[in-house]
Structure 1
Amino acid sequence: MTVKNYFPEDESERVAVDAGLSRKVGAHNDNLMVVEVHFDKGVTAPLHHHPHEQITYVMSGRFEFTIGDETYIVGAGDSLYKQPNIEHGATCLEAGTLLDVFTPRRDDFL
């Protein structure tokens, strides 16, 4: 099996998820994936859950994140952890970009 080590920016396209919300998949293998997520101001990613562990790094913008029964206002440089199957969602308060890391890989994003 050949392992892909390099994922050039121009080989991955930004995909519209919903109005004002798009994502771009970066490097990934079976066990790990990185995804850039772009939000326009006011867009909400509704509460949801999945079996993957997830870390979110805020690259830019401001967001209100709900994870379980806790809510956080976060900005550039902040990061969040979401354990498997925990309800979570976010509302974009100021247009921005998140970097999500999933383990294992989100096959539904490919």
Structure 2
Amino acid sequence: MEKTSWEKIETEPLSPGLTRQTLHGEKLSFARMQLKNGTIVPRHQHANEQITVVTEGALQFRFDGREIVVAKGEMILIPADVPHAAEAIGNSETLEIFAPCREDWKTKKDDYLRAKK
């Protein structure tokens, strides 16, 4: 057991307009993501349940045939294996909780988020 702060956690640039800080536990992952206006998180799905809390700006989530805007102070629960995408409306920041742990993030095999070189 050890306390930490966002200032001590590495900020990982993933693509233009998208950065992430992540803390992994044994059974969950917790992250802070910062997205510039118009940044798109491409459509993807994962075996993890996801809770996204918007702390700045807003995100427009896209599910099959449905769009949901989640604004500052709101949150959304996305069940496991549900395909989704998101777009930042204004400069935005989110707190993300995933269970179980995001192994693809730990091993940097989250290509859907990373800029192609």
Give the TM interval when normalised to the shorter protein. Answer: 0.7 to 0.9
Taking structure 1 as the reference length, the TM-score comes to 0.88
Structure 1 regions of 5+ residues with no counterpart? none
1:103 and 2:86 matched: no
Match of 1:59 in 2: 55
- Which AA in structure 1 matches 2:21? K
Picking from 19, 24, 32, the partner of 2:21 is: 24
Counterpart position of 1:41: 37
- Structure 1 residue 68: deviation in Å? 3.8
RMSD over aligned Cα atoms? 1.4
Aligned residue type for 2:104: D
Deviation at 1:81, TM superposition (A): 0.9
| Distance in 1 (alpha carbons) for counterparts of 2:31 and 2:64 | 22
* Aligned-partner residue type, residue 42 of structure 1: G
The count of residues paired between Structure 1 and Structure 2 equals 106
Aligned to 1:54, what secondary structure does the other structure show?
A: strand
How high is the sequence identity, in percent, across the aligned residues? 25
Structure-1 separation of matches of 2:4 and 2:66: 35
Q: Is the contact made by 2:44 and 2:84 (CA closer than 8 Å) also made in structure 1?
A: yes
Instruction: Tell me which of 86, 90, 97 is aligned to 1:90.
Output: 86
Structure 1 residue 17, shift from structure 2 partner: 0.9
Asked if 1:13 is matched to 2:14, the reply is no
TM-score, length-scaled by structure 2 = 0.83
Q: What letter matches 2:97 in structure 1?
A: V
